[in-house]
Amino acid sequence: MVFIIYLFLLLSLISFGLYPSELMHKYSLVLFAFVGIYLLIRFIRHQPIYIPLWLLLLPLLYLFTLFFGVDSVQGTLDQLLVWSTVVAFSVLLFQLKNPSQQLPLILVALSWTIIIGTYFILIKIISFPHFILPLSKEISGLGERLGGFLQYPNAFASFLAAIILFHLVQALKESKKHLYLLHSFIVLPAWPLFLLTESRGAWIVFAVVWVISFYVVPANRHVQYFILSSFMISGGTLLYMLFTLSGTNKITFSSMILLIFLGALVWLGDRFKILEKVPYLKNRHIFPLALTVFIVLTVSDLYWKGLFYRILPDSLQRRLGFDIGTLSERVLYWKDSLEHWEQFTWVGLGGKAWQLFMYRIQSSPYLTSEVHNGFLNIWIEIGIVGLIYVCVILIKAGYRLWRSHAAAFPAFLFLVAHGMLDFTFSYPFFLLFLLCLSITQKKSELSSLINKMAISITFILLISSAWLSYQFINADSAYKAANSSLTREEAQQWIQQAIDKNAWETDYVRFAVENELVTGNEKVRLLEQSLQYEPNHAWLLYQAGKAAEETGDFKKAENYYELSKENNLFPNRRN
């Protein structure tokens, strides 16, 4: 089971974090099939089955919004599949016999696989699309940012920061020598990658959470934790400087020699038990307070461009400027959303609603189609009840990790905090990763009746979600075939097949209309059908108005045009 969980977690990460819906559908179908068969075998053998009852409510909340009208039926069903995937993955986690020992092994295997894979791609042994994103030096210190397997620097930075925090704390808690080396040494190659993402928000959140992480480590090991962290971060920064000496990201022979040398120092330190010989403090507040003062002084130095700022590489100097343009954009998204809170407060607008909702509330044209705040996004999608429920789950999980001084707490806290500043939770991978960090030894014991009900609901959820995934995969295949068709007749056949298999996906109708594959009454019918599933889609409303005008129904056309303008205040984007 350990290897299966590792494999599913790894696949979710290297599949672009499951951010593209088509990859999410394929992944979820395989997961649903595996978990369903596994549970059926255990049920037939009368073996115990643990179901995370507290997670079952989340996909049902998305299903609930469909009864009150949603901005996008397809988006809501996609999110239903995402949370069903989380439930299915959690079922596997709950079958682990000793999660407190097995999950760290899964995470260390995942971390090393990703770090080694990243270096293989950087030195061009293997390739991966959009791994490094070229940007202008006005918005990037180096002129390029590491997007990694998630193809988005901030998301990849979030993953790297989480594993660095986890392994730093876990290294001190590890009693086995080989595991200590695996946990501690990985920070050295991970840190320069973290810097290459140039994610300032992640850097700031990391610094704050690192200070808090001292409260997870026993007070008598604070000095050891500080020395280990400082050595790894300093060594990793030296590696970053060697990587960027040429003004671009390039792993050189000298940087590899330095990495081996630093690794040898880590091994020698463990061999001669250097950390065990350092003095210890009894007061658990000394280091957190001292480091807080240090961080404040460092920020002041960066702002006034003092000594510390001047010794940094040019790329870091440019990136550590106090330009708050991206933050201002995000604050604008949040402000506009909250000014229209009454539209989504109670029930929500359904899954992926922001991608339509944003067009009718924007006070100026937005630059992205994500709200950049995971909690606000949940509020928009499933209302205040759903938001409160998610917050309660996270608070309970965090409190349990905090009370047990779990090594996963800093990583867990980082992901939750960074999720308030970015759209990392729009990547289903991060939901699975967060689940791995939050699962503890304790399993919920349910009464026989409740457990049977939970198992029944889980089976129904898995079967229905698998059917949806299968339909969506087939429809998407037909859509791709329509895109690559050589004749109009062939494209018509394929796009009709796609619509028949998944009428909720309005992109299929858009393709048919834009390429004039449908005309007359059939065009009107398809547009009006699509508007039942996305009633606030400005482009569909505009095209429905044109179609009505072509048929001579000018009153209906006028109504559609007015609705289209109301739902896209700045018609300069695809919607």
- Of the listed ranges 265-279, 326-340, 482-496, the least confidently predicted one is 265-279
Please give the pLDDT value at position 509: 94
d(CA 118, CA 436): 22
Please give the pLDDT value at position 477: 95
d(CA 259, CA 242): 11
d(CA 550, CA 544): 10
d(CA 51, CA 343): 34
Please give the pLDDT value at position 574: 56
For range 400-425, the mean pLDDT: 92
For range 137-160, the mean pLDDT: 85
Q: Is 70 exceeded by the pLDDT of residue 136?
A: no
How many Å separate Cα 466 from the centre of its chain?
22
- What's the number of CA atoms in the CB half-sphere (13 Å) around residue 551? 17
Please give the pLDDT value at position 444: 56
Q: Is residue 442 very low, low, confident or very high in pLDDT (cuts 50, 70, 90)? A: low
Per-residue pLDDT reduced to its tens digit, 542-566: 999 998 888 888 898 899 999 999 8
- What's the number of CA atoms in the CB half-sphere (13 Å) around residue 430? 28
What are the tokens at 206?
A: 């990391």
d(CA 194, CA 420): 19
Higher pLDDT residue, 187 or 273? Answer: 187
Inter-CA distances, 510 with 442, 469, 538, Å: 50, 21, 12
Burial class (CB in 10 A: 0-12, 13-18, 19+), 168: buried
Of the candidates 405, 401, 412, which has an alpha carbon nearest to the alpha carbon of residue 165? 412
Per-residue pLDDT reduced to its tens digit, 90-129: 999 988 888 888 899 999 999 999 999 999 999 888 989 8
Q: Is 60 exceeded by the pLDDT of residue 370?
A: yes
Of the candidates 313, 309, 319, 312, which has an alpha carbon nearest to the alpha carbon of residue 137? 319
Q: Give the bridge partners for 146, in sequence order.
A: 132
Q: Is residue 137 very low, low, confident or very high in pLDDT (cuts 50, 70, 90)? A: low
DSSP annotation of 503 reads T
User: Is the distance from CB of 387 to CB of 348 less than 8 angstroms?
Assistant: no
Per-residue pLDDT reduced to its tens digit, 497-536: 999 999 999 999 999 999 989 888 888 899 999 999 999 9
Of the candidates 223, 192, 373, which has an alpha carbon nearest to the alpha carbon of residue 286? 223
Per-residue pLDDT reduced to its tens digit, 199-222: 989 999 999 999 999 999 888 889
- Of the listed ranges 240-249, 476-485, 525-534, the least confidently predicted one is 240-249
Q: How many CB atoms lie within 10 A of CB 343?
A: 15
